[in-house]
Structure 1
Amino acid sequence: MGSYRALHDGWTLTGASHEIEAAVPGCVHTDLLAAGVIDDPFLDDNELRQEWIGRTDWVYETTFDWQPDELAPRTDLVCDGLDTIAALTLNGTEIGRTANMHRGYRFDVASKVKPGANTLRVAFTSAKNHAESERERLGDRPNAYPEPFNFIRKMACSFGWDWGPTLITAGIWRPIGLHTWGAGRLARVRPLVTVTGDGDGRIELHVDVERAGTDPLILTASVAGVRVEHTLQPDEGTAVLVLDVPQPALWWPHSLGDAPLHPVDVALTTTGGTSLDEWHRRVGFRTVALDTTDGAFTLAINDVPLFARGVNWIPDDALVTRVTRARLAERLTEAVAANVDTIRVWGGGLYESDDFYEVCDELGLLVLQDFPFACAAYPEEEPLASEVAAEARENVVRLASHPSLVAWTGNNENIWGWHDWDWQPALGDRTWGAGYYFGLLPSVVGDLDPTRPYWPGSPWSGDHDTHPNEPSRGTMHIWDVWNRVDYTRYRDYQPRFVAEFGFQAPPAFATLRRAISDEPLTPSSPGIAHHQKAIDGNLKLERGLAEHLPVPRDFDDWHFLTQVNQARAIALGVEHFRSLRPYCMGAVVWQLNDCWPVTSWSAVDGDGRRKPLWYALRHGYADRLLTVQPRPHGPAVIAVNDGRSRWTGEIEVTRRTLDGDVLAKSVFPLSLEPRASVTTPLPPDIATPGDASAELIVVTAGSARALWFFAEDKQINFPIPGYDAEVAPVDGGYDVTVTARTVLRDLTIFPDRLDPGAVADSALVTLLPGETTTFRVRTDATLDAAGLTARPVLRCVNDVRP
C-alpha cells in the first residue's frame, strides 16, 4: 500500500531580515506573533503597523531524511493548501509553482528526492504585489474596497472588509507531505448520492485511478452491508461503481428529523489482494430540490419544502490556520442552539475545511456554498480563468460526499454590482465574471455533481430580464436597512428568500476589554473607532437608536442599547419574513460569527461570546413562533409552525396597561399542521389602544409568547424599574431570579462583566408586574451576588432614564 508522510516539522521562515521557526500548517502572521516579532494584530490598532507583512516575500524551508521504497517507486509532494503565489524547489531544483489558495497541488518528485537529507523550499511572493501587478496587466476592475483581491485566487477578506482587518497572509496553510505509491492510486473518487422515489438509496462512485503499471487492478466499494467489485483492465483508468442500498435511513436537517451518516469505503488492490490505496467518507441519503416556480426560491429536502432559518458564515478567524475542528464544532453548535438550520458560506471567504462540512453533516445543518467571488468585477483572462476552473472542479468533487451541502451559488453580489454600482461605464468591454457565473461554474457543477442545484449569484432573480435584487423573484439582499433607512422598513419587503440582511452592534464587554485598552472606553475612543470598520458605522448605530430608544447617558448605556437595538432589528425582520410563509421561504441573517473582536453584524462575537442578538435568533427561529404584525386592516396574530408535529391549543390575546391590568381579551382555537402558518386579525377592542404610550398587546399559546407595543420605547413613559432579585448558587454557576414589581423591558444579564467566562442562558426578557424569570449563569468563578443584580450587569431598557 502507498504511504503518506507529513512534512510538518523543522521549518524555518525567512523574510524582511527575520529568520524564525515556522509552524506548518500555519501562516507568516502566526509565526511572527509566536516569535515575538509582532504584537497581536487583534489588539488596539496593532493591525495598522503590520502592512509590511503583506508586502514582503517569504521563504519556508525544511530538511528531511528520505529512504526509497523499491515496491513504491512513485513519490509525489502533495500540497493541500499554499497561500498563495509560491515557487517550490527540492534540493535546489524547481518542482512547481502555485497561484491559488483555494486548491491543492501535487508534484511528481520521484526523480528529485534522494536517499538521506533533502531540502524543501517554498518561496512565497507577496500576494498584494502580485495582485497589483495583475491589475496593471489586465486593467483595473470595479471593487467595493480599495484592494486588488479580485486579481488573485485568495481569500478576499484577508485584504480587509467592513467587519475584518487587513491581514494579507502567506504560508503553508493546509497539510503538506509526501505520498509514495506503486502500481496505482485513487486519484479521484466522486460520489453521487441519490434516493429513488421508492426510498431506496443509490451511490454512483466515479473513480479515477492513476496507474504506474500494466497489471489489472481491483476496485471494491462498500456501504451499509452492500459491496461491489470491479476489475480495471490494463487500459482502464476510470470506473463507475454503483451501490444500491434498500430503504436506508434518510438524512434530514435537524429541524425536520435525524441526520444519520453511512460510512463508504473504496479500496484499490492488486489481483493478489495487496492494498494500494483507500478512500473513506460518510454520506447521508437525501434528496434536494430547488423550486423556482413563479419566482419562488424554495429548498425541499426529501420532497419536504423547508423555510430556511439561516445565518451567514465568514471565516472564523482572520488568521484561518488557527481554526480547529473543536472551534468549528463549538460555533456551529451555537447555530443549532439558536434554532438555525441553514448556513450560507459567504463568497468572500473560503471553501471551508473538511472538518466544517463534516460537523454540519453531523449536526443536521444545511449549507449553501458560494464560490469565492465577492463584491467585485473579476477578470476572466488567463491564468486566472484556468485557476478558477481547477479550483471549482477540485472543490465540487471534494465536497460531493457531504449531505449538508445542498446548493452552490456562483458569487456574492457581483451580478447586483454590475447592474447597480456603476460598474458598466468603468468596465467598458472588459470581462467582469459573467463567464464564470453563467458558463463555467454551472457547467462544472452540472458535469461533476448534478445532484445539487446551482444558482448564479446571491442575489439573483432567476433571469437576465429581471433586476437581480428583485424581491418577488429568487434571492435578495436587503441593505438599505442599516445603511439608509430604519429597520421597520423590513416590513416594506415581500421577498421570496432573503439571503442577507443585518444590523450592527458592538461585541460583548469582556471582548472589548480584552482587545481594547482605551481609558475610558467611549463610542468614539481610538480603539473602539478602529474596531468599527463599516463606513459611518457609529453614525448608523446612533441613527438606529434615535428612532427607537432613549438617549444613552454613558458608555454602558450605549453598549447595552446598541446591542438591544441590533437584536430588535433582526427579530423584526425574521418574524416579518416568517410571517409571509409560504410566499417567503428563507431568511439568512448577516451574520453568525466574527473573525476578530469588532463592532459588526454578528450574533456571536470574535471571542465566541453571545450577543443579545443570539437570543433573539433563538426566539425568532423557534419551531413554533407567535408574532404580531401590522396588516392593512390593523395588527394581526400570525402563528408559524415549522416543527414536526401539529400545534394545537388556544391563543390568548390581551390588551394591557404597563401595570399589567387587562383592558380587553380574546381567545381563539389553534390547530396548525407542520410547516404551515395562520393569520388571525385582532378584534378592534384589542387592536386599538386607549393610550398608545401606556399599553401593549400580550399573545400567548402554551409556552410561546409575543408582545406588541403601540409606541416606541422613547415615547413610552416607563416607570423606574422595580424588582426583587435573588441569587442562588447551583452546580456550575448561579441562578438569578428576578420578580418584577414594575414592567421590565428587555431584561438582560451580562455576567461577562464579572467573569469573562460566564454565560447566561437567556436574555431580552420582558416582564410585567408580578412575573418572574430565572437566569442560569454558568461560571467557574465565585461571583458577587450584589454585582449580579445591579447595573451594569443586570439591565433593562427602562433603567435608561434621567
Structure 2
Amino acid sequence: MTVIPLTDDWTVTATSGPAPENVAHRAIPARVPGSVHLDLRRAGLIDEPFDGANETEQQWIGDVDWRFETSFEWHDDGSERRELVADGLDTIATITLNGVEVGRTQNQHRSYRLDIGSALAEGRNELRIDFAAPVPAAHARSAMHGERFHVNHHPYNAMRKMASSFGWDWGIDVAAAGIWKSIRVETWSTARIASVRPLVDVDGTTGIVDAHIEIERADGLKAAPVCVELAIAGQVYKVDVAGTRAHARIEVPDAQLWWPRGHGEQPLYDLEVRLKGGSPHAELDAWRRRIGFRTVRVDIAADEHGSPFAVHINDRLVQIRGANWIPDHAFISEVDRDRYRRRIADATEANMNLLRVWGGGIYEADDFYELCDEQGLLVWQDFLLACAAYAEEEWLATEIEAEAREAITRLSSHPSLAIWCGNNENIVGYAEWGWRKELNGKTWGEGYYRRLLPGLIAELDPTRFYAAGSPYSFSSFISPNLDTHGTVHIWDVWNEKDYTHYREWKPRFVAEFGFQGPPAWTTLVESVHDAPMDPYGEQMLVHQKANNGNVKLERGYGPHLPEPKTIEDWHWATQLNQAAALRYGISYFRSLAPYNTGTIVWQLNDDWPVISWAAVDFAERRKPLWHALKAVYAPRFATVQPSGDGIAVTLLNDTEHAWSGDVVVRRLTFAGEVLAEERILGAVDARGNTALALPEPVATAGDPTREVLVVDAPGFARAVHDFAEVKEQALESSPLEATAERDGDTVRVRVVARAYARDITMLADRGHPNAKVDSGLVTLLPGEEHRFVVSGAPADADPQRFAAPDVLRHAGDLSA
C-alpha cells in the first residue's frame, strides 16, 4: 500500500454567502486538519473568536460556502485500487479531482473512502472540496423534512454535524466548515484490511479474543485466497480467507485482567493483524491495537426498591465516580494527544473512574480511548443524538446507521469502553417535556434507540452494555427520570431550586447533575473586557450561555453566602458556591451506597472560556470545584448526614481492604474550645459503608453560628459539618497568618489559622497567570496549619503575592 498524505499547500476560499470584501473570493492559506475559523484567524482576517463579543460579529462564517483546494503529485505504481480517504469532513461537501466529481458527503461523524481511479492523473493533480454553508443548510433541511424540537437556536438535528458546534448552554456558536481529520490518497492491490473487531471475554483464567476481520478486495471475489495472521501474547494464528470476512477465536491462557482504576492494574496486550497474499506472498496490510481482558455487566434487574444501574467489571461492582465529557475545544482539530492526556489526568487526579462522552459532541479520537485504557478510566459513550427529536426517515437514518457502525467497530478494541447509550435526554424529552404534542405524529428517534442501535450493538459488539437513553428507567411504562429506577438527570437543582434540594432525590444512579461557576479569574478577564467588569456586562453575558445563568448564580449563593461587594467577591462567591453545591450533593448521594451506585457530575471540561458547570476551565485551570470533587470522590470518604431526628457519620470504604478504628467526633467553638467529644469504634468492610449515629452532645450545637463539628478517623480525610451557612456564621474575616517562600521551582505558602477558617482556597492564577496550586478548599481549626505548593510561577514572580488576600481566600472573607 502506498500512502500520500494531503496535509500541505491547502487554501480556503469563500465562494458565496455574506463574506466581507477582504475575504470573499480570496485564496487564504489553510491548515489541514483544521477549521476555517482558525485559517481566517491565522491570516489576520478575523479577531480571536473566543474574545469579547466576537462570536456575534463572526456569525457570517457559518453562512458562507467554503472551498478548500490543494494539489499533489502522483505517479502510477501499478496498484489496482486508487482511493481518496477522508477521515473527517465537516460537513456537507462535494469532492472534485481534476474537474471530475468523485464524491459527496453529509456526515461529520464518519469517514469516507472514494474511488478516484478514473480521475487520477499522472503527475500533478488538483483536488477541490466544496463545503456548503452549514447554518442555512441546517435550516433548509429542517424546513424540507419537517421541523422538530431542538434546544438552542439552530436545527442541528437536521444534519449530522457536531451539535455543540452550533452553540450550547456552555458553548460558542462556531458552526463552519473544514477538513477536521486526516486526508490522504491510498493506492493498493489484491486486498486490504477494512476493519477489525476484537471482542474479548474471560473464561476462568483464560482470555478470549473473538476477532472479526473485514477484508476489501481489489477485484471483488475473483482474487486468490489471502491469509490473515493474528499475533497476541507470543502466539500466532493463521486463517486462510477466500471471501471478505475472517473470524478467529484466540485463547490466551492465564490472562491478566484489565481493571478500572482503584480495583487493579490495567495490563494491555498487543494484538497484531497482518494480511498476506499475492505473488510473491507478501504483507498487504496490517492493523495493530492494544486490548485488555475484562467483562462488563450492568445490573438493571428489579429489586425491592425499583431497579438499579450497577456496573460490574469482571463480576465486581464498581461504584462509579465520574464526570461528563464534552469536546475539549470548540475547534476540535486543536485537541492533540497531550491535551487529552492532561484532561485525563484532571479526571484521575480527582479520583474519578469514569468519563461519559456526551451525545452532543463527537466520537473522540483514538488517543482519548487509548489513554483511558492506560489509566483504567471507564468510558460511557453516547451515540451522537442529544436534546432533540430526530427524523427516522431514510435521508437521516442511513447516515446515523453508517456512523454508528463505524464508531462501534472502531472503538471495539478499547477495554475502557463499557457502556453505549442511545441518546442524551431525548426519551425524557418526548415523554415529559411536551415534544409529543409538538411533533404531531412526526418521527422523533424512538426507532433508533429501541431498534436500530441495540440491533447494531447485538450484531457488532454484544460484549458491552447498551442503554436506550440517559436518563432512563429501563421500562416504557414509567417515567424515564424516576429516581427509583435506572439513571436520572437532576436539573431542578440549579435551574429552579437550591442545592439543599438534592436531598429530595433518592437516586439509584445520577448520570447528570451540576452547578455553574465562572472560570479562573485570569481565564475570564483574558476574554471579557467590560469596563468596569460586571456580572451583567455585555461581554460577560456573551460568555454566559445558560438561560438567566447569572440570575441563577445569584439565586444559588443567596441562601448560603453574604452578598458580594465587588466583582472579585462575586467571582469568588460563585466559584465557592459551585464547589459547595456539588460537595453537598455528591456527599449525600455517596452516603446512599449501595442503593446508589454512582454519580457522573456535569461536567469535567470546557470548550472555550465561559461561565459553566466545568471543574476545569478552557485554559486548563482547575476551579475550586475540582478540589471539591477530589475530596468527595476519595475512595475512603467520611461524611456527616441527617439520620432520623439527628445526624450520623457515614464511612465509605471503596478499597479492597476492610477498615476499623476509632472515630473521634468533636464539637468545638470557632476559637477551638472543645464543647463535647465522643470516641466511637467504627468498622467498614472492603467496598462497604457504615453509618454511625452521633450522640446528642456532639450532634446538637449550642450556638450554630459559632460552633463546628469535626470527625477524624485514621485513613479518612477529616469530615467537617457546619451547623449554619456561611452568611449566618460568626467567621473571622482575617483568621490566617500566611508566609511564602521560594523553594526551587515551587513557592510554598504556609498558612496558620488563629480561628476557625473555612474553605481556604488559593486562586493561584491571581498570583501569576501560569501558577497552579496543589490543594484547595482547606478548612483549618485554630492552631492548625496547611502548606500550599505552587508550581508554574517563574523565578522572578514575587512569592509574597501568593499570600495576598485577593489570592489566598476563604469563606469568611466574604463578610469583611
What TM bracket, shorter-length normalisation?
over 0.9
| Candidates 210, 214, 222, aligned match of 2:216 | 210
CA–CA separation in structure 2 for the residues paired with 1:286 and 1:758? 40
| Candidates 466, 477, 480, aligned match of 1:454 | 466
Task: Please list the CA deviations of residues 270-292 of structure 1 after superposition, one character each: whole Å capped at 9, or x if unmatched.
Answer: 16431100010110111110001
SS of residue matched to 1:386: helix
Match status 1:26 vs 2:39? no
Post-superposition shift, 1:541?
0.6
SS of residue matched to 1:543: helix
The one-letter amino acid paired with 1:482 is W
| Candidates 650, 668, 671, aligned match of 2:683 | 671
Post-superposition shift, 1:800?
1.8
Task: Please list the CA deviations of residues 729-762 of structure 1 after superposition, one character each: whole Å capped at 9, or x if unmatched.
Answer: 1122111001111111111111211211100111
Does the CA contact (< 8 Å) of 1:265 and 1:278 recur in 2? yes
Post-superposition shift, 1:391?
0.3
SS of residue matched to 2:718: strand
CA–CA separation in structure 1 for the residues paired with 2:137 and 2:810? 52
Post-superposition shift, 1:670?
2.6
Output the aligned Cα RMSD: 1.1
CA–CA separation in structure 2 for the residues paired with 1:3 and 1:123? 26
CA–CA separation in structure 2 for the residues paired with 1:358 and 1:172? 23
The one-letter amino acid paired with 1:257 is G
The one-letter amino acid paired with 1:232 is V
Residues 351-390 of structure 1 aligned to structure 2 (within 5 Å): 351-390=363-402
The one-letter amino acid paired with 1:710 is F
Post-superposition shift, 1:521?
1.6
SS of residue matched to 1:311: strand
SS of residue matched to 1:654: strand
Residue 787 of structure 1 aligns with which residue? 801
Task: Please list the CA deviations of residues 689-723 of structure 1 after superposition, one character each: whole Å capped at 9, or x if unmatched.
Answer: 11111111100112521011111111111123232
Does the CA contact (< 8 Å) of 1:733 and 1:779 recur in 2? yes
CA–CA separation in structure 2 for the residues paired with 1:800 and 1:296? 42
| Candidates 278, 282, 286, aligned match of 2:294 | 286
Residues 294-333 of structure 1 aligned to structure 2 (within 5 Å): 294=302, 295-333=307-345
Match status 1:600 vs 2:612? yes
Does the CA contact (< 8 Å) of 2:764 and 2:772 recur in 1? yes
Match status 1:89 vs 2:96? yes
Residue 719 of structure 1 aligns with which residue? 732
Match status 1:136 vs 2:143? yes
| Candidates 105, 112, 119, aligned match of 1:105 | 112
Residue 751 of structure 1 aligns with which residue? 764
CA–CA separation in structure 2 for the residues paired with 1:147 and 1:538? 23
Match status 1:151 vs 2:163? no
Residue 705 of structure 1 aligns with which residue? 718
Post-superposition shift, 1:671?
2.5
Task: Please list the CA deviations of residues 748-791 of structure 1 after superposition, one character each: whole Å capped at 9, or x if unmatched.
Answer: 11121121110011111111111111100112423324322222
CA–CA separation in structure 1 for the residues paired with 2:341 and 2:226? 39
Does the CA contact (< 8 Å) of 1:226 and 1:244 recur in 2? no
SS of residue matched to 2:102: strand
Residues 588-737 of structure 1 aligned to structure 2 (within 5 Å): 588-702=600-714, 703-737=716-750
Does the CA contact (< 8 Å) of 2:488 and 2:510 recur in 1? yes
| Candidates 466, 484, 491, aligned match of 1:479 | 491
CA–CA separation in structure 2 for the residues paired with 1:689 and 1:144? 47
Match status 1:434 vs 2:434? no
Residue 799 of structure 1 aligns with which residue? 813
Task: Please list the CA deviations of residues 535-556 of structure 1 after superposition, one character each: whole Å capped at 9, or x if unmatched.
Answer: 1111111011111011111011
Post-superposition shift, 1:492?
1.3
Gaps of at least 5 residues in structure 1 are none
The one-letter amino acid paired with 2:701 is P
Post-superposition shift, 1:591?
0.3
Match status 1:764 vs 2:777? yes
The one-letter amino acid paired with 2:141 is E
Residue 499 of structure 1 aligns with which residue? 511
Post-superposition shift, 1:32?
0.7
Most deviating of 371-380 and 688-697 = 688-697
Does the CA contact (< 8 Å) of 1:269 and 1:275 recur in 2? yes
Post-superposition shift, 1:244?
0.6
Post-superposition shift, 1:363?
1.1
Post-superposition shift, 1:109?
1.1
Does the CA contact (< 8 Å) of 2:198 and 2:211 recur in 1? yes
CA–CA separation in structure 2 for the residues paired with 1:178 and 1:786? 58
Post-superposition shift, 1:675?
1.3
Post-superposition shift, 1:519?
2.5
| Candidates 168, 171, 176, aligned match of 1:161 | 168
Post-superposition shift, 1:686?
1.2
Task: Please list the CA deviations of residues 363-385 of structure 1 after superposition, one character each: whole Å capped at 9, or x if unmatched.
Answer: 11000000011111111112110
The one-letter amino acid paired with 1:253 is P
The one-letter amino acid paired with 2:354 is T
CA–CA separation in structure 1 for the residues paired with 2:131 and 2:239? 44
Residue 187 of structure 1 aligns with which residue? 194
Most deviating of 498-507 and 126-135 = 126-135
Task: Please list the CA deviations of residues 19-55 of structure 1 after superposition, one character each: whole Å capped at 9, or x if unmatched.
Answer: 2011111111111111111111101010101111100
Task: Please list the CA deviations of residues 290-320 of structure 1 after superposition, one character each: whole Å capped at 9, or x if unmatched.
Answer: 0012210010011110111000000001111
Give the TM-score of the pair, scaled to structure 2: 0.97
SS of residue matched to 2:782: coil
CA–CA separation in structure 1 for the residues paired with 2:183 and 2:38? 18
CA–CA separation in structure 2 for the residues paired with 1:501 and 1:775? 30
CA–CA separation in structure 1 for the residues paired with 2:414 and 2:696? 52
Post-superposition shift, 1:529?
1.7
Residues 182-581 of structure 1 aligned to structure 2 (within 5 Å): 182-196=189-203, 198-213=204-219, 214-233=223-242, 236-270=243-277, 272-294=280-302, 295-581=307-593
Task: Please list the CA deviations of residues 63-109 of structure 1 after superposition, one character each: whole Å capped at 9, or x if unmatched.
Answer: 11100112x22111111010000011111111110000000011111
Does the CA contact (< 8 Å) of 2:110 and 2:406 recur in 1? yes
CA–CA separation in structure 2 for the residues paired with 1:342 and 1:611? 20
CA–CA separation in structure 2 for the residues paired with 1:599 and 1:66? 50
SS of residue matched to 1:653: strand
CA–CA separation in structure 2 for the residues paired with 1:647 and 1:110? 69
The one-letter amino acid paired with 1:694 is R
Post-superposition shift, 1:677?
0.6
Post-superposition shift, 1:6?
1.1
Give the TM-score of the pair, scaled to structure 1: 0.98
Gaps of at least 5 residues in structure 2 are none
Does the CA contact (< 8 Å) of 2:727 and 2:815 recur in 1? no
SS of residue matched to 1:383: helix
Identity of aligned residues (%): 47
CA–CA separation in structure 1 for the residues paired with 2:289 and 2:800? 53
The one-letter amino acid paired with 1:216 is P
SS of residue matched to 1:293: coil
SS of residue matched to 1:277: strand
Most deviating of 628-637 and 150-159 = 628-637
